[in-house]
Amino acid sequence: MSNLPADLKYTKSHEWVRTLADGTVEIGITDHAQHALGDLVFVEVPDAGRVVKADEPCAVVESVKAASDVYAPIAGEITAGNPKLAAEPEVVNADPYGEGWLMRLKPAPGALAAAALLSAAQYQQVLDSEGD
Amino acid sequence: MAFIPHTEADVAAMLAALGVARIEDLFDEIPPELRLKSLAGVPEALNEMEIGRLMSERARADGIALSFLGAGAYEHHIPAAVWAITTRGEFYSAYTPYQAEASQGTLQLIYEFQTMMARLTGMEVANASMYDGASATAEAALMAVRSNRKSKSARILVPLTLHPHYRRVAVATAANQGLRFEELPYSTQEGVISAAALAPYEAEDITALIIPQPNFFGRLEDVDALTDWAHARGILVIAVVNPTALALLKPPGEWGARGADIAVGEGQPLGVPLSSGGPYFGFMTTRMEYVRQMPGRIVGRTLDAAGKQGFTLTLQAREQHIRRAKATSNICTNQGLLMTAATIYLSLLGPQGLMRTAAAAHARTRELTAALTRVPAVRLAFAGPCFHEAVLQLDRPVVPVLKALASRGILGGLDLSTYYPELGNALLVCATETKTSADIDRYRSVLNETLQGVRAA
Amino acid sequence: MPVPEKVIFEYSRPGRGAIDQWPHETAPAALADLPAKLRRTHPPELPEVGELEAVRHFTRLSQLNFSIDTHFYPLGSCTMKYNPKACNQYAMLPEFLARHPLAPESHGQGVLACLYELQEMLKAVSGMEGVALSPMAGAHGEFAGVAMIRAYHRARGDLKRNEIIVPEAAHGTNPATATMCGCVVREIPVTSSGDVDLEALRSAVGPQTAGIMLTNPSTLGVFERRILEVARIVHDAGGLLYYDGANLNAILGMARPGDMGFDVIHMNLHKTFSTPHGGGGPGAGAVGVGARLLPFLPIPVVGREGERYRWLTEVDMPQSIGRLSAFMGNAGVLLRAYIYMRLLGREGMRQVGEFATLNANYLSKRLQDAGFEAAYPQRRASHEFIVTLRRQARDLNVTAMDFAKRLLDYGFHAPTTYFPLLVPECLLIEPTETENKDTLDAFVTAMSAIQKEAEQEPGRVTSAPHTMPVRRLDDVRAARQLDLKWKPTAQP
């Protein structure tokens, strides 16, 4: 059973979203995703300043068996990519919801409200239906 | 003979275990209208003696002529040990090293090959080889588009001094992915990219510039100036180089202030026979910062569970078998056997052997052009320095001259009139270390006789 | 167990190596015309070793490998059949090796005759109207095939057709190829019996369909039973059918892709026609086409006029998708395939299909009798079949990868693992027709022994291999700490 903090929002493509105090959001991949990928060997995060649309692939997480795109859950402008991950991709495996955050984004006006993000319970349903 | 070892008893036992009466019953899921009665259009089997005889007859019919052809495939002496070892069953009949523990021989060899090619080109990292120099060039263009973050145009500048076949392969391979190849004119006086050719692109969004060295005419391009021009404009530099030449010429990693970004070329000169054009291998090297955009296989050194050194394929997540539609390329092979031959060749020659081979090729070509231009109807097309190949111009069409030479057992070179009509009656000639002074003199003498016999235009 | 080698550079000593072997021109005057700014400032850093050192090093490296010449190699989808020595010997006759690709046709009628006859035989076994030999690998042939499909539609002015349908079980090169050709990939499911889902196919086709890429028998090791229906659905929608020839060995001499409705095929000469795998290449991916696609074949193609052979180029074939190789593809590989096909002859082709299928079915049955779970037990095996070790993974924590590594200790190269992705913990097993019954039985014995170890002493399996030159390698470390070329270690 994977770890699912109740205070975060989720997507069907296994990203999580945390709203920060200053109105920006922090984005990463879930415990389920990091477990499925296995030990990460490389992470590519977007540059600050890049404008992304909802569902646009904007990061890549790579293990020995797979390289997966990470999709922007909402539209907005990237404010930061996690600089730690270039040298230590394994942080995503160890702490996917904390130190292993991938990127931070300033949502486009109205984007956060309009986004169809899942609650922890809804995301758990997605996992259950995929079959573990 | 299909190399099938089954006895009748074996077949009976196997059919019994399966509970079927005949082997044909195992095909009962194939719709009957698709099942063949017999294979028309395929002759009856030959045994080994018979096919040996046929192949020997055909080989004899082709013979071996005295050849002065270059143009992307070069005749060099291949030490006997190269293919004696390369055709060992353990190399010849081994598969791709996916099960690393059972393939340490192949994997270590690839690691050594990667090291040698990186060093030879002066670049930071190499892959395990590609199909040939032309497809490596096409893949380099695709890689440049992926790697050049500053450019969106996917426009690639391609000099006309790059091998005509390479240019065509690049278009056939990459045009479907939205790349635009724009041709850079050359100076018909100098035989190199003209400085003026770059002028229209001063302020344009260009993704990459391809620089051949030596170029198709054997001429040496001004690689430093071209590299710096490109880098000043955020354009990536793709070097297309001859590996033998790299024993003497400045490697792409040292071109200009920052060095080329990607270096590719045809590896055939390194221990691979001419063999009517293949199999050869392409090499590709680049900077570490682009390694994840580089297609093809890569071997890395790591440790095993007991802490011992070992080798394995790495960075496979970029490749087709994992990334599928998002792969860097669909390439699923490296030219393993040829890369093996090249690694052994380079080990046998070492720096001295390769430098001497290159120097001898250069000297022989100079001797050839000097000898041939003593014939009145022949002159050198370009005055500037060239390496192991040169363009001559005749006073009459080249094709009949070559035909006459061929009938006397000499392959005089490549007629350029279909590729470069602006050069007139042009002939590309090459002499490597395999040609002696006697060979060269024979060419001169037969050419002389031929030109007296064949009418001037 | 052989001791792993040092890297060749570690044997290097300045001045080692037989200088007198090489030409003598090093006089500066010989190079005086090369401008200094274009010259190397220091010699290339290649190893300096003697000939014996090099021979010994590379010979010992070869001894670290498994190969068909030394081991049973049941890699599904790879067709690791015996590579006859005669094919190598006669392809390497000195005249064939010495011929320059641009030598005139007058000096190449012998090799051109071989290549022309190869084209004809490949047409015959595939049921196609035309064949081109220049693609240099299977994936390269795939590229040519999809490019031809695209060119065909564009030539008809049908520019909307840019979608390629691919079953979800397809080999990774298929979607990668479609993307390389500027097409969009649409995946469709397969049914639980291993056939393409016809309902899903009907929904997927339309005016945007350029074509479908299929293997038959499929990557699941079973024959696509309703292939004629699949062909009809796709053709009726205006699309074309592409055949991935990776599994041609199963039906060689028994059935032809052209008769199934395929418009274009690639054949892996390094699989079905036994050219050497060489540690990863060179391959050759000849393509065959039906009449519709003939004008688009990649050049050059060998043509015949009376008794003379010549190359057909862009001049002869203006609608060709173009040139894919600097010269004419992997001629030396093509010669090996030619010799092999002549050795097989008409009856031999059929025997290949028959015995590859017999061996696969027999091995599958014996493994099932020994308690292993086949993925499609109700189907006939083609030339390969899938065993799933999901029970072992679930109940014993021993995976397909663990079995694969332990098989190495038993002297067998592992089958293909984890492909196709659809079947969990799978082994895709292809014995080929050149293996005898004793070898197959020995393989079953080994698998049974490993099963027993998995039940009683699982650690032995999960930490395998034990008897190879190296233990299991840390591929995570390999990807995180990239060591891709040798560097001398710093002296203390």
Q: Domain of C237: which CATH number? A: 3.40.640.10
User: For residue C422, what pLDDT is reported?
Assistant: 81
CATH architecture for segment(s) B66-75+352-453: Alpha-Beta Complex (3.90)
- Report yes or no: B379 at the A interface, CB cutoff 8 Å: no
**CB distance from C475 to chain A under 8 Å?**
yes
A86 touches C at CB < 8 Å: no
* Interval B353-379 mean pLDDT: 94
Asked, for residue C78, whether it belongs to a domain, the answer is no
The total domain count for chain A is: 1
Domain coverage including residue A55: 9-130
**Residue B19 pLDDT exceeds 90:** yes
The pLDDT value given to residue C419: 82
pLDDT at C421: 79
The reply to whether C32 and C143 lie within a common domain is no
- For residue B424 the two structure tokens come to 């007139």
Supply A118's token pair.
């899942």
Considering only the top CATH level, what class is B80-344? alpha beta
Taking CB atoms and an 8 Å limit, are C9 and B304 in contact across chains? no
Q: Flag whether C67 is in a domain.
A: no
Location of structure tokens 């000297």: B363
How many angstroms away from the CA of C127 is the closest CA of chain B? 10
- Say whether both C230 and C116 belong to one domain: yes
- Residue range B94-114: mean pLDDT, rounded: 95
> What is the per-residue pLDDT for A130?
72
Q: Are residues C322 and C397 in the same domain?
A: no
- The range of the structural domain enclosing residue C184 comes to 86-344
Inform me whether the C-beta atom of residue A64 falls under 8 Å from chain C C-beta atoms: yes
Q: Are residues C213 and C330 in the same domain?
A: yes
Mean pLDDT confidence for C296-322? 96
C487 within domain boundaries: no
Here the ipTM equals: 0.95
Helix axes B8-18, C437-456, angle to 10 degrees: 50
pLDDT number for residue C492: 42
Q: What b/e string do you get for C320-340 counting C-beta neighbours within 10 Å, with b at 16 or more?
A: bbbbbbbbbbbbbbbbbbbbb
pLDDT, tens digit (0-9, with 9 covering 90-100), for B171-223 = 998 887 889 999 999 999 999 998 889 999 999 999 999 999 999 999 999 99
**C75 falls within a domain:** no
pLDDT exceeds 90 at position A65: no
Interface test with C, best of A41, A61, A62 (most C CBs within 10 A): A41
Instruction: Kindly state the average pLDDT of the residues C51-74.
Output: 95
CB C367 within 8 A of CB C374: yes
On whether residue C121 sits in a domain, the answer given is yes
**A39 CB within 8 Å of a chain C CB:** yes
**A122 vs B333: CA distance, rounded Å:** 44
pLDDT digits (tens, 9 = 90+) for C411-467: 999 999 988 878 899 999 999 999 999 999 999 999 999 999 999 999 999 999 999
In a domain? residue C35:
yes
Residue B330 has pLDDT above 70, yes or no: no
CB of B318 less than 8 A from some CB of A: yes
Domain with CATH 3.90.1150.10 in chain B: 66-75+352-453
pLDDT, mean of residues C296-301: 97
**Residue C191 is assigned to a structural domain of this protein:** yes
In terms of domains, do C393 and C284 share one?
Answer: no
pLDDT for B457 equals 45
Residue C345: its H or E element: helix C331-369
Question: How much is the pLDDT for A84?
Answer: 93
With an 8 Å Cβ cutoff, are C474 and B277 in contact?
no
Q: What does the mean pLDDT of chain C come to?
A: 93
C245 and C148, same domain (yes or no): yes
Pair (C375, C327) in one structural domain: no
Q: What is the mean pLDDT of residues C75-95?
A: 96
Q: How far is A21 from chain B (nearest CA, A)?
A: 32
Question: How far is the C-alpha of C412 from the C-alpha of C80, rounded, in Å?
Answer: 13
Inside any domain, residue A83: yes
Name the band, by pLDDT with cuts 50, 70 and 90, for residue C5: confident
C285 vs B38, more confident: C285
Residues 6+ apart with CB under 8 A from B9: none
C13, C24, C38: which to substitute to probe chain B, counting the most B Cβ within 10 Å? C38
Q: What is the mean pLDDT of residues A53-60?
A: 90
User: Cβ of C479 under 8 Å from any chain A Cβ?
Assistant: yes
Chains that touch C (3 or more CB pairs under 8 A): A, B
pLDDT digits (tens, 9 = 90+) for C311-359: 999 999 999 999 999 999 999 999 999 999 999 999 999 999 999 999 9
Same domain? For C255 and C136 the reply is yes
Q: What is the CATH number of the domain that holds A114?
A: 2.40.50.100
Q: Are residues C306 and C232 in the same domain?
A: yes
> What is the count of structural domains for chain C?
3
Characterize C445-468 residue by residue with b for buried, 16 or more Cβ atoms within 10 angstroms of its Cβ, and e for exposed. ebbbebbebbeeeeebbbebbeeb
Asked if pLDDT for residue B38 goes beyond 70, the answer is yes
Residue A120 lies in a domain: yes
The confidence score (pLDDT) of residue C2 equals: 52
Q: Is the pLDDT of residue A132 over 50?
A: no
* Same domain, yes or no: C52 and C93: no
Give C2's DSSP letter.
Answer: P
Question: What is the number of CB-based contacts under 8 A between chain A and chain B?
Answer: 19
A86 in contact with B, Cβ within 8 Å: no
What integer pLDDT is reported at residue C18 of this predicted model? 75
For residue C208, is pLDDT > 60? Answer: yes
DSSP SS3 for B156? strand
Neighbours of chain B (3+ CB pairs under 8 A): A, C
Residue C1 lies in a domain: no
Give the CATH number for residue C398.
3.90.1150.10
